[in-house]
Amino acid sequence: MLTSRSLASRSLASRASLTAAVALALLATAVPLASDAAAAPGGTDLDLTTSKAQWIDRSTVVWDTPGREAEVRYARDGGLTTDGTDGDDVRGQAHRIRLARVPGGLTDAQRAAYPHLKDYAAFRVDPRDRGRVRTALTGQLAAVVRDTDGTARAATGVQIQGVLDDLYSRAAASADLGPVFRGGRPRLAVWAPTAQDVRLDIGGRSVPMRRDAASGVWSAAGPKSWTGKPYRYAVKVWAPSVREVVTNKVTDPYATALTADSRQSLAVDLDDPRLAPEGWQDLRKPAAVPLRSARVQELHVRDFSVADRTAKYPGQYRAFTDRRSAGMRHLRELARAGTSYVHLLPVFDFGTVPERRDDQATPGCDLPAAAPDSETQQACVARTAAKDAYNWGYDPLHYTVPEGSYASDPEGTRRTVEFREMVQGLNRAGLRTVMDVVYNHTVASGQADRSVLDRIVPGYYQRLLADGTVATSTCCANTAPENAMMGKLVVDSVVTWARAYKVDGFRFDLMGHHPKANVLAVRKALDALTPAKDGVDGKKIILYGEGWNFGEVADDARFVQATQKNMAGTGIATFSDRARDAVRGGGPFDADPRVQGFASGLYTDPNSSPANGDRAAQKARLLHYQDLIKVGLTGNLAAYSFTDSSGRAVKGADVDYNGAPAGYAAAPGDALAYADAHDNETLYDALAHKLPPSTPAADRARAQVLAMATATLAQGPELSQAGSDLLRSKSLDRNSYDSGDWFNAVHWDCRDGNGFGRGLPPAADNKDKWPYAKPLLADRALAPGCAQISGASAAYRDLLRLRTTEPVFSLATSERVQSELSFPLSGTADETPGVITMRLGDLVVVFNATPREQTQRVTGLKGAPYALHPVQARGADAVVKSSSYARSSGAFRVPARTVAVFRRG
């Protein structure tokens, strides 16, 4: 889910002076400078600090404004201002490009390309002035519109993303950007079509770069001695955010290596044999698992090993090479049980952690000595959070370089070698690797120090709102992958990770902020990779992401988004929040965290929260939750037909989820099931809030396994947060992105506990929940012991084994699901609140979430020979072994808070 992210500072230093204007052509007119913005008589709007006009192609400027006469003024060195006190409303020495209003506005094709601009007025560039367009784009732009009497109606800056794509993207689309090596000689190239000049600073020299007029790419080729040298580009460009021409010393957005703290790019050839660890070229991967069968463990590199006393390389990539560590032993156990992928939270270069260990702060308190419900721990962690070694990493700086803080040495190429060693270590443990990628935003924009893209082509790579400001709906500076060269960057970056680092899958953060076409372009590019040519089989690389629908792009406002409903049938999965909320109860942002759900005791084991409603309301909501879970068990299929809990014949798409259809998938594999992930409270912490406080630790463990089973035993892929099988807690922290190792570390040794009771969670995102959290954290009975932790993990592994050994849990088509899967008691008098009975081929699965033993009588199976599945009958959970089946009546008896799987003999 969307939560607060680590936000970069986006405040820009104010520039007091503007560069003096210079006459550019015969039409330029020298006038005195005036104020930046002014309101002239008659309700006019003259403000060059905004950019409300949009130049969408070489022939068309659009603007939501009245008026018929219009023009664009441009000044190479800036200096255009407004005062609105006389007829010359935009002052400064400039060229003019004449515009004529187009009757009827945009064409049908333009409306289709820019649906959010469909009602704007369109102005056609005078054919006599079209030869000036490319030059105009390298300076300050001011659009002016007038009434028929010549009165200025409005003046504003101009957005230029569309016209840049029209002029340059066709040629630039095939350009090799960044460092490219041929015969050991490097060539460096950067796309900067609006730059007035670009120089390459490398090895202590400033080298002029050559501009290609067709593509807008600047390049320089050099000798072999450039290899390994640090470099930056010096880009001279008009910067709208500070309204002057600047020369930015900036790293390469296509960098493949960096110096420490991302200060400079390095001219590195990723094909250099010296960067390949032993065995890299002949690395044998575990057998590829189709997306519909994928079982994924979501894992943060630092969480994995930083608290593991058996790890040789705590907090580093190399921790995954240590076969004897407790963490790697646990991952191998999961792999043997059926886990197929490890999903790594961001491991690209991000902007909020000092990469050198000597620069990293650590909390200066005796954290273990404080009480389990104390404010001390979080206050101490917060004091060093900005400079410690911890962040989730959802704040991209360079998309195609490994993060340096996880390497033994962030200076140079150790991060490249050690990232590859990490992939090797996971592959040798029987696990393929998924990388969490965050192309939807950057850590900063404008002229901020950590802004890269926006300091090379200002106003292009970031998505702009109607007034020209950068959209921040993703909690950071949004990017615009709908623009051709940002879309190209996404595709090129993913392909590099796949080819050069042998990554087996990609999870797209906030994928709904990408165009569907962009994500499909990624899929197409990966599919083209072959073992013979590229060393990887791209068709076996899996893709999934967050298909949430919100922000300025919501409801396909700007393009067809890569959202849940739109990605159905593409083979690219989206996270499904439907069953997740039904299993846990409520939603992730409830004011009262005690709102219960299927696995947390709604109606069957109520807590004291008034937010749950009366008994009748609880029962009705629980039965509806059961319908949501049933849809989830089908793989969220939209067309799946069944009887809902009210007795109605419905399809998955007819079941309501907060006003949206619960079923949206076209085939198994379109929806990814999960009960918890890094966002929001861990599953254990959510259940801690929601289960009655008196619930014993053993029952909490059973509720956890049952909740996880609703995802594990669903059709389609499943994701689980690492450590959830060990009842992982973050001490009730709902947003631990910057909460440090103390709250985030995974504890592989059950004797170290599960993380519960490590103090009140950080105030920034949790203080409003402290009144609920404090009594829970103080209750030592809620902290599980080794019996509960180890038992839950073993029971979860049994479910994984069962799931992966029974092909019927991985049906390939929606037709097979419809014929093989049913809910025989749904909508009948025998449907029990808190219990779901699913028939799947020769299996019957009973999810009993109630605190009591339950009997489910399926009369249609009377006389059929069923018995508890051998995996559970021989498994680790003693309680499930007491489940039984009465052949004479077709009755399945299942203990409290237990999922039992029966197989026909």
Q: Which residues contact 686 (CB under 8 A, 6 or more apart)?
A: 584, 585, 593, 600, 676, 680
Alpha helices in 84-155 (DSSP H): 108-113, 133-136
H or E segment at 840? strand 835-840
- Count Cα atoms within 13 angstroms, Cβ side, for 267: 27
Alpha carbon separation from 820 to 312, 651, 868 (Å, rounded): 48, 16, 19
User: Is the Cα torsion angle 472, 474, 480, 482 positive or negative in sign?
Assistant: negative
Q: Apex CA 383: angle with CA 379 and CA 387, to 5°? A: 145
**DSSP character string of 42-62:** TT-EEETTS--EEEEETTEEE
Instruction: Judge whether 656 and 702 are in contact, CB under 8 Å.
Output: no
H or E segment at 350? strand 348-350
In 3D, which of 112, 79, 83, 117 has the Cα closest to residue 95? 79
**d(Cα 491, Cα 175) in Å, to the nearest integer?**
13
Instruction: Identify the active-site residue in 69, 83, 504, 509.
Output: 509
Instruction: Judge whether 53 and 61 are in contact, CB under 8 Å.
Output: yes
Q: How far apart are the first and last CA of the chain?
A: 42
To 10 degrees, the CA torsion angle through 224, 228, 234, 235?
90
**d(Cα 595, Cα 156) in Å, to the nearest integer?**
50
**d(Cα 863, Cα 889) in Å, to the nearest integer?**
7
Which two tokens mark 341?
A: 């992928």
Instruction: Identify the active-site residue in 349, 546, 738, 806.
Output: 546
- Find the radius of gyration of the CA atoms of the chain: 30
Q: Apex CA 90: angle with CA 89 and CA 93, to 5°? A: 135
**d(Cα 80, Cα 69) in Å, to the nearest integer?**
19
**d(Cα 640, Cα 630) in Å, to the nearest integer?**
10
Tell me if residue 509 is catalytic.
yes
**Residues 280-293: b if buried by 16+ CB within 10 A, e if exposed:** beebebbebbebbb
The phi, psi pair for 840, rounded to 5°, reads -140, 100
**d(Cα 450, Cα 8) in Å, to the nearest integer?**
8
Query: Which active-site residues does the annotation give?
Result: 509, 546
